[in-house]
Amino acid sequence: MEKRILIVDDEIEMRNLLSICLKPHGYFVDEAASGFEALQKVMDHPYDIVILDIMMPTVDGFEVLKKIREAINHELPVILLTALGDSDHVVEGLQTGADDYIVKPFEPRELVARIESVLRRSKRGEVQNKDEFILHQLRFDIEKMKVSYEGKTIPLTKKEFQLLTRLATNPGRVFSREHLLELEWDDYYEGDTRTVDAHIKNVREKLKQAGYQKTIIETVWGVGYQILEEAK
């Protein structure tokens, strides 16, 4: 079935470039020239994914993303377009709920690969929204809060289990440290992002101690962590 993509950018040249890149791959492409127009279209039409520029006048990409997540469709996949080296925007976008980001200028093949990856994740997330699933030979039992490998339970703490499960149910998605801290710790917790780093380090060590030799948790420098779609 043809996938419907909404491209949101105030520059017509960028919208044309994205459309040229995507149409040969069988995507139906719709366009919005402003944040306001994007919100109207998302409310009126079903899309499979949104490609959203951050820097737009009047209603910027962050505000569009926030309104999509809070009031329109919190499950609609969104990829942000951001300027080269602007890591602060990347972190803010991930905290607001973006599924991925791509830096301008970009290679057309990278753009298509990112879109396909997010769409696969979205579909896989629906499948894994259950009490038990397997990823990269690890078995996750949500009800019992257990992760096992080759029948052996890995002795994770509650927070380690929550972090690993959060990443595992969204393989390929990058989570900022701040977002993970917000999601998995109580509101009154006053720690900093080094707490997340320490827990991820412990998870990696416990996987290794259990005989698990694959690399699945990747550090995205300057941003946070992801579980790889393909283990190394």
Do 220 and 174 form a contact (C-beta atoms < 8 A)? yes
Identity of the amino acid at 122: S
pLDDT of 210 reads 93
- Residue 197 or residue 190, greater confidence: 197
pLDDT digits (tens, 9 = 90+) for 6-35: 999 999 999 999 999 998 988 999 999 999
Tokens found for residue 21? 């890149």
Mean pLDDT across 54-79:
87
Beta bridge partners of 52: 8, 80
pLDDT band per the 50, 70, 90 thresholds, residue 191: low
Higher pLDDT, 192 or 22: 22
pLDDT of residue 125: 53
pLDDT at 123: 67
Task: Give the list of residues 6+ apart from residue 50 with CB closer than 8 angstroms, or none.
Answer: 5, 6, 8, 38, 42, 68, 76, 77, 78, 79
Beta carbons of 28 and 4 less than 8 angstroms apart:
yes
Contact 5, 115 (CB under 8 A): yes
Q: What is the pLDDT of residues 88-146, one digit of tens each?
A: 778 888 888 888 888 888 888 888 988 988 888 776 555 455 677 888 889 899 888 89
Sole residue written with tokens 């694959």: 214
pLDDT recorded at residue 187: 54
Q: Find all residues with CB under 8 Å of 51, minimum gap 6, and list them.
A: 5, 6, 7, 8, 9, 18, 79, 81, 115
pLDDT value at 202 more than 90 = yes
Which domains, and CATH codes, for the chain? Answer: 4-126 (3.40.50.2300), 128-227 (1.10.10.10)
Please say if the pLDDT value at position 183 is more than 60: yes
pLDDT (0 to 100) of residue 157 = 92
Q: Looking at residue 30, what is its pLDDT?
A: 94
Chain segment 67-85, per-residue pLDDT in tens? 988 877 777 899 998 876 6
Mean pLDDT of 165-192: 78
